[in-house]
Amino acid sequence: MKKSIVLICFIFLSGFAFAQKEQEIDPVFSDVEDMPQFPGGDDSLHAFIKRNTNFPEELKLNNFKGTAFMNFLIGKNGQVKDVKILQGCGSNKLDKEALRLFSIMPAWKPGKDNGQAVNVSLYLPIEFSL
């Protein structure tokens, strides 16, 4: 009898803990009223990428061109996180460079929905050419 009571209590408490964890997870949106913005807007984003890209010499010599398609999250606080390469540009070195660019990116103006800051998933192609 004691074992069955302990088992029932364990199952109840496990379910309660699971429900608590589900409630703590913030939803991620892809379309909101006010989309996230890079500080200074799109032109500043392109300038940031151009200014901070380290193009490997051997790829410069071969006049390599490619585009890395990136997915990332702008958190409620504007921080860039969960960066992923959806499709690489054909060079492991430049794919790593795309990830590095996101790691040094400043905080964005967060997206808002119904006046509240929310997590927003974005896509961005990074073009590598000389």
Cβ density class 33-61: b for 16+ within 10 Å, e for less: eebbbbeeeeeebeebbeeeeeeeeebee
Going residue by residue through the chain, which has 130 residues, state the pLDDT in tens, using 9 for 90 and above. Answer: 555 444 444 444 445 444 445 456 889 999 999 999 999 999 999 999 999 999 888 888 888 999 999 999 999 999 999 999 999 999 999 999 999 999 999 999 999 999 999 999 999 999 998 7
Q: Which domains does the chain have, with CATH numbers?
A: 27-128 (3.30.2420.10)
Which pTM value belongs to this model? 0.77
Report the alpha-carbon distance of residue 110 to residue 60 in Å, rounded. Answer: 36
Q: Which among 89, 72, 59, 75 has a CA at the least distance from the CA of 26?
A: 75
Per residue in 49-82, pLDDT tens?
999 999 888 888 888 999 999 999 999 999 999 9
